[in-house]
Amino acid sequence: MIHVISIIIANSGMREALLKAFKEIVPAVRKEPGCLEYIAMGDADETDPGFGSDTFVVIEKWENHAAFKTHKTAAPLRSFMTGSRALLNSLSLHVLREL
């Protein structure tokens, strides 16, 4: 099993629009083979230091790296990335395994 942490930073003031676009693909992604978890998270109330008001974090869990690799080229994610380009400031991806 692998875990993926994606830190998504919206352009200033665009977080809600970007989050809405992200949530539209969640049901389809959760149906992809090997997807165990796929959820957007944000700072808990007064977290200090937090990620910030323009940021949300996607927590993903996949059965294996092959399933994640397939997800990266699947239609839902491609659609999100293409349709959200104007809203997105940056995205960093971290693929992790249990030690």
Bridge partners for 61 per DSSP: 3, 37
Prediction pTM value: 0.89
The domain ranges of the chain are 12-86
The residue-averaged pLDDT of 45-57 equals 82
Nearest CA to 53 out of 92, 2, 14, 99 is that of 14
Q: What is the mean pLDDT of the chain?
A: 94
Residue 45 reports pLDDT greater than 80: no
In CATH, 12-86 is 3.40.50.300 = no
SS3 29: helix
Percent of the residues in the chain that have a pLDDT greater than 90, as a whole number:
88
